[in-house]
Amino acid sequence: MCKNVAGKNACRAFCSGQFFMTDRRVSGKSAAEDRGAGGRETAGVEKGQKQRAGDMTVEQTTIAVRIAKEAINELPLASWDGPVHVVRTAEEAQLATIRLRRAAVLGFDTETRPAFKKGQKFSPSLLQLATESEVFLFQLHQTGLSQPILTVLGDSNIVKAGVAPDFDLKSLQELHPFDPGGFVDLARMARRKGVHNQGLRGLAALVCGIRISKSARTTNWANRDLTPQQIQYAATDAWIGREIYQRLQALPTPTRP
């Protein structure tokens, strides 16, 4: 489920990829194209497409391989608008992981309090895991990396998809040693598919045709009470990671000459 802040009732999606449409995109074109942007690189379906205005059915076989920052800024802003569970206790963590272990694919991310002084370093404050229908935010300063959480992180049968997860995992392992399993780096996956933009925002634009906000990135994630903006930001990052994985998984890997 997504919330598209570009307009009321503007966002529609289909399973396994969440292709977004705004009121300005009933033709399947980008906002930039609707404004006559000419040859500007934008996200979108290039070949093998099936589109029907109304329910936006799309069959995608290829996507553009790169997108400019200016083009990203013209895409509709979207965010996760489904259930979000902020997990603060060990008991809540145990209940959350029961539901997470039923999923085959999870979106993964962490958030850490930003350091503004030289030599300053903080431990991860938040662990985000997203299923198809809900997002769980674990406040690690309160839950710790309990055994139920570690079981999910170590389960190689559950895909955990995120951008550059190795860095996040190293920070988590400093809290509690564990052997990670099932993690997929979306940047590497995108590179194998011939996609040049490999950050989360760029991949969201190219693969899903949306713009995600990064405005809460440098806020204090160590606060006991997260703001609604922080919760939405954190949930969106985990959710879009899962959606990008599903979309990239469906694309063919280009053959090298």
Query: What fold is seen in the domain 82-250?
Result: Nucleotidyltransferase; domain 5 (3.30.420)
Domain range summary for the chain, segments of one domain joined by +: 82-250
Rounded-to-10 torsion of CA 24, 250, 252, 163? 80
| Beta-carbon contacts of residue 103 (< 8 Å; ≥ 6 apart) | 131, 132, 158
Q: What is the pTM of this model?
A: 0.77
pLDDT given at position 4? 55
Which structure tokens are listed for 228? 């609604």
pLDDT given at position 121? 86
Residue 242 Cα to chain centre, angstroms: 6
pLDDT given at position 196? 84
Cβ count within 10 A of residue 239: 28
Determine contact, residues 123/106, Cβ cutoff 8 Å: no
Which structure tokens are listed for 181? 């399993």
Strand partners, 138: 87, 127
What pLDDT digit, counting tens, does each position of 57-106 carry? 334 455 677 888 899 999 999 999 999 999 999 999 999 999 999 999 99
Phi, psi of 59 (to 5 degrees): -115, 115
| Beta-carbon contacts of residue 91 (< 8 Å; ≥ 6 apart) | none
What pLDDT digit, counting tens, does each position of 119-136 carry? 788 999 999 999 999 999
pLDDT given at position 65? 78
Whole-number Å distance between alpha carbons of 140 and 224: 10
